[in-house]
Amino acid sequence: MKNFKSLALMLAFILVVGVLAACGGSNSDEEATDNSGGESSGDSGSEEVSGPVAIDGSSTVFPIMENLVYTYSQEQPEVNATVNSSGSGGGFKKSTKGEIDLSNASREIKEEEMAQAEENDVQLEPLTLAYDGLSVVVSAENDFVDQLSIEQLKQIFLDSSEATKWSDINPEWPDETIKIFSPGHDSGTFDYFNEVILEENPMKEGENTTLSEDDNVLVRGIENDPNAIGFFGYAYYAENKDALKVLGIQDGEDAEAVKPSGDTIQSGEYTPLSRPLFTYVNVNAYKEKAQVRDFVEYTLNNAGKAAEEVGYVALPDEKYQEQLDTVKSWAE
């Protein structure tokens, strides 16, 4: 009897151990499944890449791209993405030779630049990153001008104009020499202003005109002189609005003057100085270099946020997605 009881206890112990083992095995299986699913859902879809990404071009686009390069480096520290600012024209001089991967531009590529790229077997395709409102500004110390018409801008900036003092523009304004601060000839901002305001006619240059591809040079020159005037991208005004005054632009004799803002730029109400901002991608680099492909796709996924953070106007989300779909088709 005693042996029987011992045998029964032993069988019961074995049964309990078996049940516990089975339960433990079931939990292990479930845990393995959960871990697998967690890793899958946490995957961003962007594998680790390395290597250089060379970017140059527009000083207007520079703040957006600088923001993107910085945030991208947090995710892909092995990629050495560098961005320089030699002006839209300066960027195209390099990109049409295949010397850089992305060419930032505040204007569309010119026919002769595209022809140069084709001669060098380089395919450049534009991506729109944001909207900008080219801003005409004076010093915050200027207390006599708040708006200008297109005709008055021509009087101030055209080389053929004899107006050299503010009183030549409006007799009620000071009899003081106008000091002009303008982007240089390699700048897409200069080209855009020359096209839509000066209608491709020469701008004043000389003693009272300062040209620079560095917009910060223009900002400092204008803010320190109440008789100065200049123009550059909206982000540079927004960053320095305590020291600068942005002017309303009257496009037409009966039109109301409009100042640039996020709303007036995106709606096109700020005319004719609203414009898109681009980066031109070397398609061969996109196809052949994993790090360039990854950076370009990151750019389209984050350009709207970057644009707003530095003072420009983002595109609608669907516009970025449409471009991303197009870009991905290049590698197919």
Looking at per-residue confidence, does 132 or 8 come out higher? 132
Q: For the chain, report the end-to-end CA distance as a whole number of angstroms.
A: 80
pLDDT attached to residue 20? 37
Mean pLDDT of 324-328: 97
pLDDT attached to residue 228? 98
pLDDT band at 332 (very low <50, low <70, confident <90, very high): confident
Distances in Å between the Cα of 79 and the Cα atoms of 28, 74, 291, 294, 306 are: 39, 10, 7, 10, 19
Pick the closest to residue 129 from 312, 331, 330 (CA basis). Answer: 312
Instruction: Reply yes or no on whether the pLDDT at 157 is more than 90.
Output: yes
Q: Which tens digits make up the pLDDT trace of 77-128?
A: 999 999 999 999 999 999 999 999 999 999 999 999 999 999 999 999 999 9
Quote the percentage of the chain above a pLDDT of 70: 86
Instruction: Reply yes or no on whether the pLDDT at 25 is more than 70.
Output: no
Mapped onto helix, strand or coil, the DSSP state of residue 24 is: helix
Contacts of 293 (CB under 8 A, 6+ apart): 286, 287, 331
pLDDT band at 153 (very low <50, low <70, confident <90, very high): very high
Instruction: Reply yes or no on whether the pLDDT at 140 is more than 90.
Output: yes
Q: Which tens digits make up the pLDDT trace of 204-260?
A: 999 999 999 999 999 999 999 999 999 999 999 999 999 999 999 999 888 999 999
pLDDT band at 46 (very low <50, low <70, confident <90, very high): low
pLDDT attached to residue 266? 87
Q: Which domains does the chain have, with CATH numbers?
A: 51-130+277-330 (3.40.190.10), 135-272 (3.40.190.10)
Tokens of 320: 């970025």
CA distance 254 to 264: 18
pLDDT attached to residue 278? 98
CA distance 118 to 39: 45
Looking at per-residue confidence, does 15 or 174 come out higher? 174
Distances in Å between the Cα of 151 and the Cα atoms of 46, 134, 201 are: 52, 17, 14
pTM of the model: 0.78
Mapped onto helix, strand or coil, the DSSP state of residue 44 is: coil
CA distance 2 to 5: 5
